Amino acid sequence: MRARRALAALTLCGAFAGTLTACGIESTEVIEVGQPATGAKRPGMPVKEARLYFGFPGGGVLGVSRPAGDEVTAEEAIPLLLEGPNEAERMRGLYSEVPRLPKKDSRVDVVTSHGRVTIQMPVDPTRISPVARRQLVCTAAHNSVPGNLPADEVKVDLAGAGRTMTDQICDNNYVAPGTVSQAAPTSP
């Protein structure tokens, strides 16, 4: 009797397992959709990458990460931005509207203090494009700045040729989706 019950239970389990494995779901390949995932910088946490912002087709700026050996400061990130996008970034359609500076006037000074970055350039900041200004402001704000404030609270001053634009912030309305520093609330 015991053997008969055990055989019946084993047969039932085998039939059930066979049904589950033949349920008609086939494996599929990976389907790539949209921009690669990007992470948000957490205030107070060191990030071992340079976060640079370039123009992209469709308007606004898009943040890209470049690996670094250590935390990257705003002073170190701005010169990287001035070099423009690398080959891989250009292949993605990214570009820079920050004007190329003549070699003799190529000095750009970046000074940081608690929650503030000042970028001194040899050009009038009011005469460069809004995309170029966003590139500079967002790149400065999204890298290490004393005070460890969230990027949207860092104030950036752009100065040059006797003109100054003060208290600029990285406005997430002009940053491509997926690069926003804080998640937007969703509606039910």
Give the DSSP per-residue string, 127-148. Answer: GS-HHHHHHHHHHHHTSB-TT-
* Confidence bin at 146 (pLDDT 50/70/90): very high
Nearest alpha carbon to residue 110 among 92, 136, 71: 136
Checking if the pLDDT of 12 tops 90, the result is: no
Q: Which CA distances in Å does 31 have to 4, 26, 73, 170, 178?
A: 49, 15, 36, 33, 19
**21 pLDDT higher than 70:** no
Per-residue model confidence as pLDDT tens digits over 47-86 = 689 999 999 988 889 999 999 999 999 999 999 999 999 9
Q: Look up the pTM and report it.
A: 0.70
Domain extents for the chain? 49-174
Residue identified by tokens 């208290």 is 167
Expressed in angstroms, the distance from the first to the final Cα of the chain is: 58
